[in-house]
Amino acid sequence: MMNKKKLEIYVHIPFCAQKCAYCDFLSFPGNSQMQQEYTDRLLEEIEYQSAYAKEYQVISIFIGGGTPSILDFHQMAAVLTALNRQFDVHPEAEITLEANPGTVTCEALLHYREAGVNRISMGLQSADDKELKYLGRIHTYDEFLKSFQRVRMAGFDNVNVDLISAIPGQTVESWKNTLKKVTMLKPEHISAYSLIVEEGTPFYDRYGEHVAMDNDSMSREERRSLMALPDLPDEDMEREMYYLTRVFLNEQGYERYEISNYSRPGYECRHNIGYWTGVEYLGLGLGSSSYMNGCRFHNTASYQAYKNGRFEKTEDFDQLLRQEFERLTTEQKMEEYMFLGLRLIEGVSAQGFVSSFGQNIRHVYGPVLDKLEQEKLLEMKDGYYCLTERGIDISNYVMSQFLI
């Protein structure tokens, strides 16, 4: 058997019950007819795209959204069956499904396990119902608890919980309370991100450069509700929350292995580590991105185009599945190797750089490495260049220094 290249697969399910006020992902509500149409098209794309991945073995699958668990479990099982049939999926591949509280049933979870899902990622964000309401989440903390219990009862022993700090009205004490409540449940993995106010979201109208009064697409009631939201925590409070997260989770047995990700030993998210270490990936579904054979591209973000397009080698193929096709230069690959690798607490392997590019890392980045080491932002540990605690604090600045 030939030695196949590693590949990760991301499957995008764009449907959600209600779009959250901070979300800029490609997602929208969809009725049962749309969900079936989309599933049918996705099955066609899986079969078509698999022809371009014969030299690869799939080491991880991540089904994200939107809210993937909003699909009927028969539809989800059909997608997973097709992936296993059309691709060479490693027997021990990590297969993650994102699930929002209130959208999972015991029956569905059992079907997910039977279909091969071995990791569940749950979007909690906060254990405070008032904060959840500010975010536009449709669930309460109690509903999350019930969903989490169903996940455990279904036999899942690898569960992630997503959290967001620095959200409207949040205090250091309420954030610590969220961390306490979540760690008491002993999930294997916790992703703890600081809120980013993205352009094009309702939160941007409230907290960004523009105010909601400028947004003609909002009703008067929506504007009033948005402007009634409390202020965001200030920068000092956000920093305090960040430090608290690291210290508290470490005390509870969670090791930080990436800037915003923590896990119990052996439960690091293999799919995300693949992204950060340059493993190739194929995106399936609406708007999903891919990186294969040194080329970057993405699928159409138009639901109508995806629904009506033909998955065959025709003139509209590039417009459907190969948008913004770009072959990366060696310099771009080096930049990404540094940007992504430095997100990991372990850092970037000097030997790995040589293996990937045939050049010594100091030959390419020597002056930059010296400068950042002198500024106490970067250090060398066991053959890896990694961020110091101060470097993590201003990681965007550090990573910008590696632009060639």
Give yes or no: residues 268 and 365 share one domain: no
The residue among 383, 376, 317 whose CA lies nearest residue 350 is: 383
Q: Are residues 261 and 145 in the same domain?
A: yes
Residue that terminates a domain, selected from 276, 293, 310 = 276
pLDDT at 211 over 90: no
Do 179 and 44 lie in one domain? The reply is yes
For residue 91, the domain's CATH number is 3.20.20.70
Domain-embedded: residue 325: no
Boundaries of domain holding 370: 347-400
- Mean per-residue pLDDT for 252-273? 97
Q: What's residue 125's pLDDT?
A: 96
Q: Which two tokens stand for residue 258?
A: 């990436």
- Asked if the structure places residue 139 within a domain, the reply is yes
Do 241 and 381 fall into the same domain? Answer: no
Mean pLDDT of the chain: 93
User: Does 353 lie in the same domain as 263?
Assistant: no
Distances (CA, A) of 14 to 26, 29, 31, 65: 6, 8, 12, 5
Q: Per the structure block, which two tokens stand in for 281?
A: 């990936």
Reduced to 3 states (helix: H, G, I; strand: E, B; else coil), residue 12 is: strand
The verdict on 351 and 249 lying in the same domain is no
Task: Report whether 399 contacts 338 (CB < 8 A).
Answer: yes
Shared domain for 257 and 356, answered yes or no, is: no
Tell whether the model's pLDDT for residue 19 goes beyond 60: yes
- Report the 10 Å Cβ neighbour count for 301: 14
In a domain, residue 334? The reply is no
According to DSSP, the residues that pair with 119 across neighbouring strands are 96
Confidence of residue 22 (pLDDT cuts 50, 70, 90): confident
Q: Would you say residue 207 lies in a domain?
A: no
Query: Same structural domain for residues 88 and 170?
Result: yes
**CB < 8 Å & 24+ apart, contacts of 376-379:** none
Residue 178's beta-bridge partner residues? Answer: none
- 129/263 same-domain check: yes
In a domain? residue 262:
yes
Q: Cβ atoms within 10 A of the Cβ of 160, count? A: 22
Which residue, 222, 246, 276, sits at the end of a domain? 276
Please indicate, yes or no, if residue 217 is contained in any of the structural domains: no
Q: How many domains does the chain have?
A: 2
Q: Do 389 and 243 lie in a common domain?
A: no
pLDDT over 90, % of the chain: 83
Q: What's the predicted TM-score (pTM) here?
A: 0.94
Mean per-residue pLDDT, 20-46:
93
Cα–Cα distance for residue pair 166/196, rounded to 1 Å: 9
Write down the pLDDT at residue 212: 47
Residue 323 lies in a domain: no
Tell me if 320 is assigned to some domain.
Answer: no
Q: Are residues 181 and 40 in the same domain?
A: yes
pLDDT digits (tens, 9 = 90+) for 326-374: 999 999 999 999 999 999 999 999 999 999 999 999 999 999 999 999 9
